[in-house]
Structure 1
Amino acid sequence: MFAVYAAEPNAENPLAALAAGERPDPVAPDGWVTVRVSAASLNMHDIWTLRGVGIKADQFPMILGCDGAGTLDDGTEVVVHSVIGDPAWSGDETLDPRRTLLTEKHQGTFAESVVVPALNVVAKPAGLSPVHAAGMGTAWLTAYRMLFTKSGLRPGQTMLVQGASGGVSTALIQLGRAAGLRVWVTGRSDEKRALAEKLGAHSTFASGERLPEKVDGVFETVGEATWSHSMRALRPGGVIVCSGSTSGPNPGADLQRLFFLQLRVVGSTMGTLDELRDLLAFVQTAGIVPEVGLELPMERAEEGFRAMLEGQTAGKIVFTRQ
């Protein structure tokens, strides 16, 4: 079958490790199902895989793609949940120390077909297209957990999203607006800030700009480049929810501000199967149309990877199969 995969790790030049071509058809073991992929979205996790981060050398070649939408053998349309846990684990699967994601141990979704545990597929809402559903299982699920499970924010409060155009950021904007929060967003360019406003942001600011007032919660995926601004933006008792550190993992902690203002810093990783079901129901009920900035046939995946590496994102980058 045709697939887009990492041939080998390349920390310095990840695109040099990207390959496209024939790979063996997957075989579903007992308890697993085969999903014929209709659409799959690109995530930063795929860039890390190309660099060799979070994956053992003997796992290459590895088909990329953490999430997607497609059909089962009986024609049921589904969304893939990419967190694969230990079958013996009970409770929140994101806390399972033996959990893994697609593309870390198991082949991913940038292919004609992918096999996943039967529990890892959720029925796709009829009103959600495969292209829009393709980003639900990673970026949108991450945003949903950050906002609704981890932050503790309530409708009417003010949230700040650091970064205006990535997949998690655009999902946070759309989810926050639909949930009745006041949504503020920072962005590096006029174009990125304009996108945030189009998606529902009430106000936008240049990266690092002083805000007109303190906020109740900050949503962080950037890390070092924005962390001190995030800390200064919070009102006493506020919260930072962090699910990534794309600009670097070691920000200054500013511990005096942390304890004196009784701030909270909360980590968040992916989401659970139940949260994915709730996310899909919320998107359908609220009439949200997830932002897709670039849609390409899977054969042109390199263009999407290049856009992400260059920071040219405007929502999700989605690859489709005919």
Structure 2
Amino acid sequence: MKAIVLTERGTHGVALRDMPEPAVPEGWAKVRMLAASVNRVDLYMRDSGAGITHQLPLIMGVDGVGVVAEAPAGSGVAPGDRVILYPYEFCGTCRPCLNGDQPLCHHAKILGEHRHGTFAEYVALPARALLKLPDDADMDQAAVLGVAHLTAWRMVFGKAPAGPGTVVLVQGAGGGVSYAAVQLARMAGARVIVTTTGPDKLAHFRSLGVEALDYRDADVARAVLALTGGEGADLVIDNVGERTWGTSLKALARGGHLVTCGATTGAHPSADLQRLFIRQLSVHGSTMGSMDEFRRLLLAWHGGGFTPRIDRAFPLADVPSAFAHLEDPARMGKILIRIS
């Protein structure tokens, strides 16, 4: 089968290659992939991969959708079913799994990180990690939900859920997870403030009725306080890291919550402990979401609660160009990879 394979670090180490079709152990299913999406972690794996247990060569890609080619009887899926892949291979038996919190599985293997991923014509997974999609589902839209929107769902509706009357600040709103968080927070009825830059992005968010701040020109924390009558944001969504961390803390209301899922600009910001305890702020780490959260996300999407924004689509063979486009400052939303 054809697949995008990482053989060594750097842009020169990513190419379309022939790979064996995956084996299908008992209880597993094989999926013929239709589409997937590009995620920031793909670049991390290409350039570093530090701290992630894996071996090269590695098929890249974390999420996606396809059609079941093989499945065990009684598994809930059958050949011909259209499915979305849960991005984790989880054990189902450890304490977090039994508590329904699969992202904390003691034996989790994330596709495209710890094991072969979705930028391939076929993928094998435990059948329990597949969810059927409705016959009328838009498969391109579904393909971009598995990482960015699932991560955003837990950030927006997790330990400090947004809702009517809450103020949500989303940092760097043009990225995949951040754009999804904007959509979900608006769906929840929250007041949303975003940071971004560039006239096109600012105009786009303002056209949606979202308050948009240009982080290159504004003192973001001061501007958020001004917009909220000195109160600040109840929830800040931040996957930028060091560059925005201090601003995110300063923009929080007393008793507010900062939720982080990334550190693209650095992983070691000042903790600002005095602000944390004096204002009784909370910091939550977040990575993807549970199977139950995945089901609720899919129901909200298919029910018309939001429509994923796809910035651009690329064929499987052109994944290296898709990676380059991910770093384009003008990009907004998700990048789709069409496989078959």
Q: 8 Å contact 1:176–1:183 — kept in the other structure? A: yes
Q: 8 Å contact 2:163–2:185 — kept in the other structure? A: no
- Figure out how many residues of one structure are paired with residues of the other and give that number: 316
Are 2:48 and 1:43 equivalent residues in the alignment? no
Identity of aligned residues (%): 37
Which structure 1 residue ranges, 5 or more long, are not aligned? none
* Greater Cα shift, 62-71 or 143-152: 143-152
Aligned twin of 1:166: 175
Aligned twin of 2:271: 253
SS in 2 for 1:225: helix
Question: How far apart, CA to CA, are the structure 2 residues paired with 1:181 and 1:320?
Answer: 34
* Greater Cα shift, 144-153 or 72-81: 144-153
Question: How far apart, CA to CA, are the structure 2 residues paired with 1:125 and 1:257?
Answer: 48
Aligned twin of 1:263: 281
Aligned twin of 2:106: 97
Displacement of 1:24 in angstroms is 1.1
Aligned twin of 2:20: 24
Are 2:82 and 1:77 equivalent residues in the alignment? yes
Displacement of 1:112 in angstroms is 0.7
Are 2:325 and 1:307 equivalent residues in the alignment? yes
Residues 233-281 of structure 1: CA distance to partner in whole angstroms, max 9, x if unpaired?
1111111011111111011111111111111111111111111011000
**Correspondence list, 1:53-64, <5 A:** 53=49, 54-56=51-53, 59-64=55-60
Q: In structure 1, what residue type is equivalent to 2:86? A: H
Q: 8 Å contact 1:173–1:201 — kept in the other structure? A: no
Aligned twin of 2:150: 141
Aligned twin of 2:93: 88
Aligned twin of 1:118: 127
Judged with a 3 Å threshold, the aligned counterparts in structure 2 of structure 1 residues 161 and 286 are, in CA distance, closer, same or farther, namely same
Q: 8 Å contact 1:79–1:133 — kept in the other structure? A: yes
Residues 25-65 of structure 1: CA distance to partner in whole angstroms, max 9, x if unpaired?
112111111111111000111111112314446x1111111
Displacement of 1:98 in angstroms is 2.2
SS in 2 for 1:67: coil
Residues 66-119 of structure 1: CA distance to partner in whole angstroms, max 9, x if unpaired?
000111022111100011222422221122232120122321100111111101
Q: In structure 1, what residue type is equivalent to 2:334? A: K
Q: 8 Å contact 1:293–1:316 — kept in the other structure? A: yes
Residues 127-186 of structure 1: CA distance to partner in whole angstroms, max 9, x if unpaired?
431111112111110000111123233222110000121110111111111111111100
Question: How far apart, CA to CA, are the structure 1 residues paired with 2:159 and 2:200?
Answer: 30
Are 2:1 and 1:7 equivalent residues in the alignment? no
Question: How far apart, CA to CA, are the structure 1 residues paired with 2:142 and 2:40?
Answer: 18
Residues 196-229 of structure 1: CA distance to partner in whole angstroms, max 9, x if unpaired?
345x352000115332231111001001011111
Alignment TM-score, normalising by the size of structure 2: 0.89
